[in-house]
Amino acid sequence: MRIYPRLKFGTKLNLGISAILIVMALLLLPLVGSMNAKSLVEESRKRGAALAESLAARAVDPVLSGDFLRLKNMVDEQSAVGDVVYAFVQNEVGHVMAHTFSKGFPVDLANANSVKNKAKVHIQLLADGSARIYDFASPVSVSGQRLGTVRIGLSKARINAAVQKQIAILAGLIAGALFIATAIGTVFAKRVTRRLRVLREHAEDMLTGNLDTQSGPDAGVHCWETQNCTLTQCPAYGEKRRRCWYIAGTLCPECSHEDDLQCRLQSCRVCKVFRQNAGDEIQDLAETFDVMALSLMTHIDELHEAERNLRDQQRLTRTILDVTPDRVSLIDTRLRYQGANLSFAKSVGLEVHEIEGKTDFDLFDEATAEDRHMAARDILVSGKRLDTQVFVQDGDKERWFHVVCIPVPDEHGRVGGLLRTDRDITDIKGYENQLIQSQKMESLGLMAGGVAHEINTPLGIILGYAQLLQEDTESGSQIYEDLKVVEKQAQVCKKIVSDLLGFSRQTQSAKREMCFNNSVMEAIGLVQHTFSLDRVFIVTELDDRFPIIYGDPEKLKQVWINLLTNAHDAMSNGGVIVLRTRLDTPAGKVSASFADSGAGISPENIKKIFDPFYSTKPVGMGTGLGLSVSFGIIEDHGGDIHVISPVPVESDYPSMPEGVSPGPGALFEVNLPLDHQDVENGESHEE
């Protein structure tokens, strides 16, 4: 039953006022009533005494003369007065001479009161049933000679009625005062509660986020106006929302510049501006409230700014972490994941937020998890970083990872976690293998060149002697035929030696200005007829600007023939070779592309296609040196050669010969530089 706290302020105020007035009334009414009653009774007693004495004085003559009529008139005159109940005159022996009673004289009354000779009056309270009467007895005497007694009765009921009336008037006045006080209290309470309501509404506004409120009254006088201030850089200058005493760091020479608000306020209380503007406690509250709202707004703005910065930082960090292909994860000392980046999450098939709290056994197969778990535990125990490479069989893919595990110290310097980074180095591993292969090839080339160089001379002698012996023998004989075989095989060897020397660039090159198109056309002219027999047709789209390059025409022709032959060999059932030349002046290069419609090259083979002795052809059909020799020649010219299979769609093929279905094909592209200066310089260096 908490009724009182729930009452409205106005009701409480009115209750308080009413309580005070009612208590006052309860205390005052009886007091005033009794005082009034006393004074009225006293007054009545005095009046009654005066009446009695006056009557006694006037009654002397009629008593002396025994004038009953005058006595009767006299007592009747008395009873005409308001509260006089009766009046009568007794002679010296107490016999009633005149009275105001209409039917007989009350027997009890004659001796109910008496007065001594020397006394002026004696008052006696009489009770007739519930009625109270003050009886006044006054002696009628002359020069001390008692002639009789005058008696007058005053009704106390009338006195009481007068008292009651006064109390009623007083009660009415108090009720009026209560009404007025309540009305004033209500008005006052409304004024107060209106201001409190404004405060409350603003507080609610603040709760809903609207901090741009004003509870206090508009500033009447501004400090810079009162003080004729010209310090426009002062934070209080031009500030209309906040009072100057709430603003820190004001420049006013009369202000105390303490940091503490209370100390500042102490000095402000004597300031003229404060005295003119300061209000009551509610205004203080409202103004403090406004200042609070303002500073809260500022703080919230700062907080928002900080939060935005933090979010940007977080996003940046997250982006960096997520964009990196490395798998980054953080493990705490209980070997549970605290966080990971997107790459890691993808690798384990989860979302980033799902990683937290998981263990290795939740994310990986048991063997891997065991390995990672043990490794992590070792590092947590030892505190030393781990730097290793791990091979992972990811489905049918073989992948290599460079794993770095760094212990993360906590605020006490102890190992509080573990940052693990798995970097995919499969490609680097591939490059590493290629490098090893290249080094092997280079050694092989050098060795083959050396061997070829050494073999070339004896081979020439063998060939020469075989040819000489043939001249000495009869054609068609067994020896002749054998010598023919020797010569032919010696020729094959010579070709191999020649290719090996070319591959190892141990043949002399004779470079000069030459027409690129002509070189290509010459090569086509050599093979066109032979190819056509195998239903392989060559379509040319030569650049009509006739680019001039600096190169060795013979060697380049050998490259073209190699590429054409290679294309031809890829189309056992016939097909089309599209040959394009392009001059790209801005890039400073000229290119030739050979596209065939053959079976194409598998991705695995593409990597090895320029390796020496690599061939898909059956044994005896090729040496596997054609493309590697071509590669060497093009490199010698400062250009590059590469292959794409299948042929990109934009290479539109002309119509196929009948019965030929086009395969995916392969496109060899050779790029040669137009500017030969670099090549010259490079060669001069090599020499």
Q: Shortest gap between Cβ of 191 and another protein (angstroms)?
A: 26
Shortest distance, CB of residue 275 to another protein, whole angstroms? 34
Nearer to another protein, 4 or 652 (CB): 4
Residue 105 contacts another protein per CB under 8 A: yes
d(CA 210, CA 201): 11
Q: Which of 405, 395, 397 is nearest to 328 (CA)?
A: 405
- Between 52 and 71, how does the x/- string for binding to another protein read (CB under 8 A)? --------xx--xxxxx---
CB of 128 to another protein, least distance (A): 5
Which CB, 99 or 568, lies closer to another protein?
A: 99
| Smallest distance from another protein to CB 42, Å | 12
Which residue shows structure tokens 């426009």? 232
Q: In the set 7, 24, 119, 142, which binds another protein (CB under 8 A)?
A: 142
**Residues whose CB is less than 8 angstroms from the CB of residue 668 and which lie 6 or more positions away in sequence, other chains included:** 563, 566, 567, 593, 594, 595, 641, 642, 643
Q: Does 436 bind another protein (CB under 8 A)?
A: no
Residues forming beta bridges with residue 149, ordered by sequence position: 90, 139
Indicate whether 127 belongs to the interface with another protein (CB under 8 A). Answer: yes
132 is an interface residue for another protein by CB under 8 A: yes
Taking the complex as a whole, how short is the minimal distance between the CB of residue 133 and another protein, in angstroms? 8
Q: Applying CB under 8 A, which of residues 11, 18, 124, 288 lies at the interface with another protein?
A: 124
Q: Please identify, using beta-carbon distances, which residue of 29 and 425 lies nearer to another protein.
A: 29
CA 661, CA 368: separation in Å to the nearest integer?
50
Size of the site for another protein (CB under 8 A): 43
CB of 261 to another protein, least distance (A): 24
Select from 88, 57, 103 the least CA-distant residue to 153: 88
Contact (Cβ atoms closer than 8 angstroms) between residue 680 and residue 596 = no
Cα–Cα dist 543/270, whole Å:
99
Output the 3-class SS for 160-202: HHHHHHHHHHHHHHHHHHHHHHHHHHHHHHHHHHHHHHHHHHH
Compute the least distance from the CB of residue 132 to another protein, in Å: 6
| Binding test (CB under 8 A) with another protein, winner from 104, 476, 603, 620 | 104
> Quick one: 145 or 208, whose CB is closer to another protein?
145
For position 106 contacting another protein by CB under 8 A, the verdict is yes
Task: State the distance between the two ends of the chain, measured CA to CA, in whole angstroms.
Answer: 112
Q: Are 503 and 632 in contact (CB under 8 A)?
A: yes
Q: Which residues, numbered 335-374, are part of the site for another protein (CB under 8 A)?
A: none
Q: Which of 109, 152, 448, 679 binds another protein (CB under 8 A)?
A: 109
Out of 49, 51, 99, 139, which residue is the one contacting another protein (CB under 8 A)?
99
To 10 degrees, the CA torsion angle through 529, 530, 535, 537?
-50
From the CB of 176, what's the least distance to another protein, in Å?
23
Euclidean distance between CA atoms 678 and 24, whole angstroms: 120
Of residues 113 and 566, the one with the C-beta less far from another protein = 113
Is residue 469 close enough to count as binding another protein by CB under 8 A? no
177-184 CB contacts, 8 Å cutoff, 24+ apart: 177/21, 178/17, 178/18, 178/21, 178/22, 181/17, 181/18, 181/21, 182/14, 182/17, 182/18
User: Which is nearer to another protein, 96 or 177 (by Cβ)?
Assistant: 96
* Smallest gap from residue 27 Cβ to another protein (A): 7
Binding mask 5-44 for another protein (x = CB under 8 A): ------------------x--xx--xx-xx--xx--x---
Is 634 exposed, middle or buried (CB count within 10 Å of its CB: 0-12, 13-18, 19+)? buried
- Residue among 327, 331, 321 at smallest CA distance from 406: 331
Residues that bind another protein (CB under 8 A): 23, 26-27, 30-31, 33-34, 37-38, 41, 60-61, 64-68, 91, 95-97, 99, 101, 103-109, 112-113, 124-128, 132-133, 142-143, 145, 163
